[in-house]
Amino acid sequence: MTYKRILLSALIAITLFAFKSDKPAYNIFNIKSKVVKYNTLLESASKVDVVFFGELHDNPIAHWLQFDLTKDLYDLRNGKMVLGAEMLEADNQLILNDYLIDTINADTLKKRARLWPNFKTDYKPLVDFAKEKQIPFIATNIPRKYASQVYKKGIESLDSLDNSVKAWMVPLPMEYDGEVACYKNIMAMMGPDAAGHMNENLPKAQAIKDATMAWFIQKNFVKGSIFVHYNGSGHSDNFEGIIWYLKRYRPELTILTITTVEQDDVFKLSTETKGVADFTIAIPTTMTKTY
């Protein structure tokens, strides 16, 4: 081996060692499990109709990237954007609208809407961005009271609700397929020891959340715009959950999914995470939490 080749090999080894010994806050992987730059994710996301940002609710890196990606997509799509979130429930839409148009302040929103404990730090910046840019922000989730009712009494128990209440959820009767992996796995994850306590309505309660979110996404999608939706990764991983329903309501819409995972090693995706989403954000397990 010539001196130049030896020197080149040494430089490459030193560079790789320096990179490996660094402490990145995250790495982004594409669906082929290859590390890509943020701009690759941004460019891909800017070309679709709906982006699902699957988060870990207490992860600060996920929330930071949500905000930056939203801002950058707004610029790339010339302000043609709609935002929506699992963390806001459909019966609070009018209250949210009042906040967006400055009819009420943040304190009133907090008093009148059912906000998550980490709303101020993790979701309010997104809502305030929509307020500043005068773009819609959709409360997509079913009111938790009725998801709980499905768990306790089944989907059929919703049939007797007043039509004004039914407006806050997917139209009934709701399609449900218990063989869809994300719902089938809910029961499997409970394990044999939980057999006496298992409730077959548990995956249905998850499904009505997914179906309702998909319903309000398609209902509020504006042709020529991009809809960015924030949800727990379990609602969109493996292109199921919300996406399974959205493809039934609006099969023509193009979709991109992002998921967030925590790993000890962020330089290589774990086997179970591969192919879960179009892009995966791997974050160190030692990352601090927002709550």
Backbone dihedral region for residue 27 (phi beyond 0: left; psi -120 to 50: alpha; all else: beta) = beta
Over 80: is that where the pLDDT of 114 sits? yes
Which of the two residues, 185 and 188, has the higher pLDDT score? 185
- The whole-number average pLDDT for the span 245-258 is 98
CATH code for position 153: 3.40.50.11550
Confidence (pLDDT) at 71: 98
- Amino acid present at 284: P
* Residue 290 belongs to some domain of the structure: no
Which of the two residues, 6 and 290, has the higher pLDDT score? 290
* Residue 36 belongs to some domain of the structure: yes
Q: Are strands 81-89 and 35-36 parallel, antiparallel or unpaired?
A: unpaired
- Amino acid present at 252: E
* Residue 11 belongs to some domain of the structure: no
Number of domains in the chain: 1
Distances (CA, A) of 245 to 91, 170, 210: 21, 10, 7
- The whole-number average pLDDT for the span 180-194 is 81
Spatial distance between the Cα atoms of 132 and 144, rounded to a whole number of angstroms = 28
Residue with tokens 């806001």: 88
Confidence (pLDDT) at 162: 97
Confidence (pLDDT) at 269: 95
Distance between alpha carbon 73 and the CA centroid of its chain, in Å?
16
Confidence (pLDDT) at 33: 97
Grouping H, G, I as helix, E, B as strand and the rest as coil, residue 40 is helix
Give the DSSP H or E segment for 18: helix 3-20
Half-sphere exposure of 49 (CA within 13 A, CB side): 16
Whether the CB-CB separation of 88 and 96 falls below 8 Å is answered with yes
Over 90: is that where the pLDDT of 265 sits? yes
Global pTM value: 0.90
Residue 252's pLDDT band (cuts 50, 70, 90):
very high
- Residue 68 sits in which domain range? 25-284
**What angle, rounded to 10 degrees, do the helices at 242-249 and 202-220 form?**
50
Neighbours of 121 (CB within 10 A): 12
* Residue 8 belongs to some domain of the structure: no
Spatial distance between the Cα atoms of 49 and 223, rounded to a whole number of angstroms = 8
* Residue 204 belongs to some domain of the structure: yes
* Residue 13 belongs to some domain of the structure: no
Residue 244's pLDDT band (cuts 50, 70, 90):
very high
* Residue 14 belongs to some domain of the structure: no
Confidence (pLDDT) at 147: 98
* Residue 192 belongs to some domain of the structure: yes
- The whole-number average pLDDT for the span 105-113 is 98
Spatial distance between the Cα atoms of 168 and 213, rounded to a whole number of angstroms = 10
